[in-house]
Structures are given as C-alpha cells and as structure tokens.
Structure 1
Amino acid sequence: MIDEHDYHLDTLAVRAGQERSQYGEHAEALYLTSSFVADNAAQAAARFVGEEPGYIYSRFTNPTVSLFQTRLAALEGAEAAVATASGMSAILALCMGHLKAGDHIVASASLFGASIQLFNTWLGKFGVTVSYVSATDPAAWDAAVQAQTRLFFLETPSNPLTEVADIAAIAAIAHAHGALLAVDNCFCSPALQQPLSLGADLVIHSATKYIDGQGRVLGGAVVGSQALIEPIYLFLRTAGPTLSAFNAWVLLKGLETLGLRMKAHCANALLLAQWLETRPEVGRVYYPGLPSHPQHALAMRQQSGGGGIVSFELVGGKAAAWHLIDQVQLMSRTANLGDVKTTITHPYTTTHGRVTPAAKAAAGIGEGLVRISVGLEHIDDLKRDLLRGLPDAT
C-alpha cells in the first residue's frame, strides 16, 4: 500500500488503499460474497466484538467496499470514510449517528430537494428541528444557532443555483457554538474542493454523481475523522443502508479518471456558461467560474475549478424552460448529474418538485430555471442542441 502523504490526488485516485490478494491481481478485486469464514469459533467471536480485524458480513465489512472507503478518504485528506447505498442514505446515516430527539440543525436554504424532505419530514417526526438560512451570509448562520444546535449542514456549490458558501467562516461559527459542520461536496468532488482542509468536520458525497461519472450505479459516503465516522458506521452496521461490493468496485473505476473528467467538465461548462450569457433568451446565468457570479472570487479561492453545473433563467418562464427541454435531442432529460453525458432538467418541477412554493421562492428557484450538468461532448454540439429550443436571433 502506498504512503498517502507522498502522492498527488490524481495518483491517489488510482492507487490509494490497494492491497493485492494472494493471486496478485493488478486491478482491484471484486469480492461478491455475503459473508466471510472464520478459522475457528474464537476468531469469529473476536471479530464480531472488534478485538481482531477481519471481515464478517458484507452488510458492514467487505474488502472491495473497504478499499473504496480508504481511497475516498485519501482524496479528501481524511482519516476515515464510510460508504452507503446512495447520497441520501449518507445524509441519513450522518444524522442518525450524530443527532437525537430535540437536537437542532442549521442548514442552507439552498439544498437539494430530497435533503429538505429528509430534514423536514423524516427527522421532524423524531423531534429534530431545522432552521434554514442563506448559504452566503455567515451572520445568518450565527443568528440561527439555538441551545440545542448540534449540526450545521450546507452544500457548496448549491443545487441548483451554484451558490458558494464560505466554508472556513461557517466552520468557525459552528465550532464556536459546539456544533459540527457537514459539507455536501457533490458538485465539486475532492478533485476540485476539500472541505476538511477549510475547517469542515464531515464531508458528504453522492458517489452516484461525479465519482462514478458515467451514470452506472448508486453510492454515497461520509468522510471525516475516525472518531466522527465511528457512530455513523455503527448505525450503518445495524440498519444496513450500505454500499454493495459491486457498486464499490464500479466507483473505484470512476475514481481513477475523476481528476481528468473534472478538468474537462469545468472547461466545457465555462464555455457553455459564457455563451449562454450572450443569449437574449437568457435572463441570468449561474456558474461559479463566471466573473458575474456573486461568489466568483470566493469560489476561485475555495475550489480549483468552477465545476460542471450551469443553471440559467429563461426570460419566458416555465413555458420557455419546458420548450427548451423538450426540443433538445442530444442532452438527456434527467435530473441526475455528474455524468459524461450532458443532462438537462427543470428544478422547479423535478429536483425541487416536492418543496413548497414558499421554500422554492426563498431559495431563489424560479419556474424559468434550467439546470444543465455539462458532460464531455464537444461544446459546439451542446450549443447547437440548445439552439433547437433557443432560436438563433443572430
């Protein structure tokens, strides 16, 4: 196994954590088994109580999953990671591991719709309350703290408006009040941003997105210190929303090209965002790599690239947005993102469809908003595809 402190991120994405079996395989091994055999009763007993390392049952111990966890932790500069069945199960596991009835969360108002539903509907059933604040106003986070506040939770960049939060400033506020800061790093991945180095305590990933990068499997992860990961692992061991060995193996293959893909996504997204700013049908473009973005300077300090997500408001509202989405032939009409194939969606009625109109308004999500996850197709072909729904006024 390589020393993770001696290598660059692109190398770690290919090599970190690999331990070959007695067969000396070059590629990572895929362990498709439900359970593992002990040599004797004493060894089985020792493994079940954690006195001896070893694999027991693939719900909570599997070599392929362990390798993915080790490699992702290395990319985030973390001590440990725990893998889950999806990005949403990663958020659930984080909350179950670190919250109890009566606790309070301060969260960004600019969250993925399912995250809001999880907080409001499901955690709310068990007495956990949430206050939503502007992601970009650290003073609002400080003002929202209550005596029972245990967790700050944010996405940066946010979905779908790519708002960029000051991780270091918000981390300092959380820690001053004895709370943890968890950052959803889905839009950037560790290739563009490492929240732990900026003061965050835990990092959330929907590995379904850029970590896989090709729309093949679901997966999630929570990354942080060993002490903070342990209670999350114990919840997953009992409840079972864990990552399958096959999906972990696919995600390992995704990590190998993560750095290269993210550079290409960023380059394509910037070109598309610049072009959209010139279009008369477009009222506003949201992309951290543009100088017009309100948090452009912060994004360029905090991230190594603008990312692959471009959102924009059409002058004609919902009718114009749906017309554009219906006319494209190359882009995929799906709410998934982070794929080598460009995807397009209408956040108001898809990703945030279950969010109340008032909450959507508070988050700045209007009916004319379109979100594009820019893939790796040629930029000229992407522009031509959009022109099918944006008649060329020139």
Structure 2
Amino acid sequence: MPEHTRSPADDGGEPRLLYGVASDRPAPVDEATELGEPDQVADLVQALDSCAWRLRAARRDIEEYVGYCERNALPVDEPVITALTDSARQAGKRIAEQRESLLTRSEIDVNDQSTGELALRFGLATLSYVRGALEWRSAAFDQSLAVQFFDLRAQGSPRVNYERYEHNSVHQVEAQLLEILGLSPESHSVSATSSGVAAYTLVECFLLRERLRSGDHVLMAPYIYFEASEQLTTLPFIQVERAAGYSIEEIIADVVRYRPRAIFVDPLANTAQQRMIDLPGLLARLRSVVLERTTVVIDGTMLSGGLPAELLASDDAVEVLYYESASKYLQLGMDAGMAGVVAYPIELGEAFDRQRRNTGLILYRHGADLFPRYPKSFYRRRMTRIGANALRTATLLRDDHRVTDVGKVSYPGLPDHPDARIAERLPYAGGCITFLFHERERNTRDELNVLFDRVFTHARRLGVQLTKGASFGFSTPRISAADAFAEGEPPFLRLYLGDRGDQVESLAKAFAQALDDHVGQSLTDFTNDEPTRVSRIS
C-alpha cells in the first residue's frame, strides 16, 4: 500500500482512518472521529498520530541525509543508520498498537489511557534520541570527506549554525506556542526557553538592560512564584515593593505611591487561598494613572493558555510581557523535559534573541523534539476538561460536611471564593484545588503525609488513579504538600485533578473518607478515648 494512504501510525496491520482522511500528516482535530466528539481518549489518539507522523518524518530525514552523503562522497556509518531507523520504526509500531487498542476496545478505562500516555512518552523520547544521535550542536555548512551535520537545512546556510542561537526544532515549538496563546505573528513573538525559571530569567535580563535603572521601583503582587520573587527581591540596585492586596484599588494605590517602572503579577496565586487578580481591570486602570510607560510582567503558568490574547497587547502607556513554565500544562503532562516560553511585542525580538543567545537560556534541540505537537483547539479542550474536573471536585468536597467541618477547600471557580467573579469570566480557573485544616497546628508536612497515606488506601480500594509529588499538568490526578510558595505560610494540601473526568466522584469520595478516618484517628490518639466518642465528624 502506498505510504500516503496509510494511517498516521502505519507500522502495524491495516490502517484505520481516525478522521476519515487518508494522509500521512496528522488530520485536523476538530473533525468527527470514530470515537464521537473529541474527548480525552480521542485527543490521546490524535497525540499518538502526531508523534507517529514525526517519527516517520525523522526516518525520511535520515534517508535524505544518507542520500546527500552518498551524492557528495561523505562517509556514512550504515550500522548506526540501521539502528536509528529501526528504533524509530519500533516506536512507531508500539504507537500503532496502542492506537489500535484505544480505537477497538468496547470500553476504555483509565489504565488504557495511562498505557497510551506511556506509549506517547516513549515515542517522543525515541524521536528526540533518533534525531539527536546524528545532529551536531554546531553543525558544519560545508565539508570535505567529513560529516558534522544532520539537518540538511544547515548546508550552505549563511547564518551561524549553533544550537545556542537557534534551530529548526525550537522554531516549530515557538510557532505552536504563538498559536496556543492566540497571538498574531504580526504583533508578537515568543522565545522558547529551557525551563519556566529560564523564562523568568530571560525577562529579568531584558528588564535590567533595557528598562530598569538604578533606584527604580518594581512592584510585585502580594504573591508571585517564590523563585521569581527570590530572584527579583535580591537585585541590589532596584527597590522592590509588594502590593498591599490583590484588588485593583490596592494595587493602583501602590502604583501611584511608588511609580514603579515594572509590575509583576500572577493572575492566579499558587497559594492555599488561590487568590486572583482582575488583569483586564488592572491594565485598564494602569493606563489611566501611569505617568511614563510601565512594563507589566505576567506569569500565566497556573492559567496556561486561558488569558484572552488582547490582554497581552502593548501601547504607549503599558508594555506587556508574558511568560509561563511549559514544563507543566503545555507539554500535556508528559513530564519528559523542561521548557518555558516568553511572549513579547514583535519589535522586541532582536533584544530577546540577543539575551537568550548570550545567556544560553534557549530550549535546546533535545527538549524541543520532546515537546508534543498539537493545535490550539486541542489544547483548549484539554484545559477546559481539567478545569471542569477541578470545579466538580471542589464542589463535591465543599458540599461534604466531613471535609468542611475540619478544613477549607479553595478553588476560584467556587461561588464563595473571593475572586469568583474574576474566575467566571475565564474559560477555566486552573486544575488545582487546595485544602487547609481549620486548626493551624495540623497544617504540617508530617500530618499531611499521614493523611495522604489514608487517601491512597481509599483510592486503591475505589480503583482511583492518583500520584503523590510536586508539579501539575498531568492527565492523572496528583496530591502534594506544598510549603515552599509563600514565606511564613503553613504547608497546604494541593490536589491537582487532571484529565480523568470519569473518576472525579470516586476521587472526592476517597479524599473525604480518608479525612474522616484521619481526623477521627488523630483525636482518638490524642484523648486515648473510644473513636465513637471523640470523632468530630460523622
């Protein structure tokens, strides 16, 4: 069968056309699928298709590379070429098997989805390995009897072929991220970096060289991510102030008081209270009170891709720079590599390129090849599902007296959250809910870890997928004790809900039952009395 008529994952068996399109490229994700309207399973199949196509493209690139070497009498290590081609083919075969399983099983459970995600991680890792094994960090663009290149686009290139400067893989990621953020290439550019912290560092490097002068004031929201705060507050030649509160009035009052050259805001705070800032309202008010052009820096990690694109527009009064960690939501929770992104007005492209090049903050080829490829519609669906799962879980826990008798559940989408009106204007309010015990002395890492053990006991009994660890963005829910985000604040429980909508009720039940067990047992231990007499919750 000719290659162009086979399905994207074509290394095993007869092809199945997920989108009704015979093509060797991933089909548009918004068309009807054999699985009905796109859901997390259909999107997983689409991600597998994309990875399979990239693996095939890598094999074609190897063939073209070998052909070029043969035509130009350049040496080729045939055993290495065979091994790399076989690796790409085997990864494609595994993806094809998993894709077929997802399409043909009458019922698909969370274990099937997890297996599919493992196959996707394997495919992306193989792709990065296969391409990286032949590539050079400083590719030659001409040669005699020697090979120090892989990508044929390096040949005859007048530009510097040096990975720290730029490379094709990072250009592909940047084009994708520009689309995800809804930004026009005519007005904005983006720079992919090696991590979220690297993205912050790139912004800081730009500000120190292009915007800030000795003695300038910088205003921070009451909370910005702790590592960014640590870096910013230790700069010796500027004065950093923290806003008095999260409301527009409080921030604007401090703007008038300090006249900062730059303002740092996180639209959603990574704290137990998960406070939000009304960014559209804040930016509108800023434009009416600033006396000179002011730079606003937004860390959108917690609301990845959820802010309206027009919010990032700059003018003569306010310049907007945006960044986020791409190690979380933006890599679909694959967690195979670190990445970050910075978005800025297009006229700043040369300045940001120079700072990224000179500081080595770029997303290197290995990380760029690990980055999954998907369109904006795919990403928005996934984030909307994650946000809906978080809201549903938060609602179930808020309505369970076993939970609310002993602690407080926070999620911006809940109607009693202080920033609920801000959250309701957004497509989603993040994927994390938080919990704090009413009794402050209970909010310790040790106590939370004991509670986690009980949560896992009930999760296993109810057949619920759950992991424990830092970070978020995964398809599988994750629980952790977060205690490094706000100085002086106690640890809090953070539950990230993931993309497993059919398990929301069971996960909420496991948590409530574990909390009931935990508080009842700890009170029994404290009083040395019978559980039925000392339990505070029924």
Q: 1:337 touches 1:343 (CA, 8 Å); kept in 2?
A: yes
Which residue matches 1:264? 385
Aligned counterparts, 1:143-222, within 5 A: 143-145=253-255, 149-160=260-271, 161-175=273-287, 176-177=290-291, 178-190=293-305, 192-194=306-308, 196-197=310-311, 199=313, 201-212=320-331, 213-222=333-342
Q: Aligned partner of 2:193: which letter?
A: T
d(CA) in 2 for partners of 1:66 and 1:10? 25
Aligned residues: 355
Matched residue of 1:83: which SS?
strand
Deviation (angstroms), 1:379: 1.1
Q: 2:322 touches 2:342 (CA, 8 Å); kept in 1?
A: yes
Q: 1:110 touches 1:135 (CA, 8 Å); kept in 2?
A: no
Matched residue of 2:443: which SS?
helix
Cα-to-partner distance string for 1:77-103 (whole Å, 9 max, x where unaligned): 332100111111111110111224523
Aligned counterparts, 1:57-68, within 5 A: 57-68=162-173
Deviation (angstroms), 1:147: 6.6
Bigger radius of gyration among the two: 2
Q: Where in structure 1 are there 5+ consecutive unaligned residues?
A: 1-7, 41-51, 361-365
Which residue matches 2:138? 35
d(CA) in 2 for partners of 1:116 and 1:90? 14
Deviation (angstroms), 1:195: 5.3
Deviation (angstroms), 1:315: 2.4
Comparing both chains, which one has the higher relative contact order based on Cα–Cα distances under 8 Å and sequence gaps of 6 or more?
1
Q: 1:91 touches 1:204 (CA, 8 Å); kept in 2?
A: yes
Deviation (angstroms), 1:21: 9.8
Which residue matches 2:67? none
Q: Where in structure 2 are there 5+ consecutive unaligned residues?
A: 1-27, 32-45, 63-122, 144-156, 315-319, 457-464, 518-536
| Alignment pair present for 1:276 and 2:379 | no
| Alignment pair present for 1:373 and 2:484 | no
Which residue matches 1:228? 348
Cα-to-partner distance string for 1:17-53 (whole Å, 9 max, x where unaligned): x9x999589x99865331233359xxxxxxxxxxx97
TM-score, structure 2 length as denominator? Answer: 0.59
Which residue matches 2:20? none
Cα-to-partner distance string for 1:105-160 (whole Å, 9 max, x where unaligned): 21111222222212123xx2x42332111563222222323677221111111112
Q: 1:119 to 1:24 in 2, by over 3 A?
A: same
Q: 1:22 to 1:370 in 2, by over 3 A?
A: closer
d(CA) in 2 for partners of 1:341 and 1:229? 37
Deviation (angstroms), 1:331: 3.1
Matched residue of 2:304: which SS?
coil
Which residue matches 1:391? 516
d(CA) in 2 for partners of 1:272 and 1:337? 16
Q: 1:380 to 1:69 in 2, by over 3 A?
A: same
Which residue matches 1:44? none
Matched residue of 1:288: which SS?
coil
d(CA) in 1 for partners of 2:30 and 2:161? 32
TM-score, structure 1 length as denominator? Answer: 0.79
Q: Which moved more, 1:30-39 or 1:108-117?
A: 30-39
Taking only aligned residues, the RMSD between alpha carbons, in angstroms, comes to: 3.4
d(CA) in 2 for partners of 1:140 and 1:9? 44
| Alignment pair present for 1:314 and 2:437 | yes
Q: Which moved more, 1:281-290 or 1:194-203?
A: 194-203
Q: 1:130 to 1:75 in 2, by over 3 A?
A: same
Q: 1:312 to 1:265 in 2, by over 3 A?
A: same
Deviation (angstroms), 1:380: 3.1
d(CA) in 2 for partners of 1:206 and 1:242? 13
Which residue matches 2:418? 294
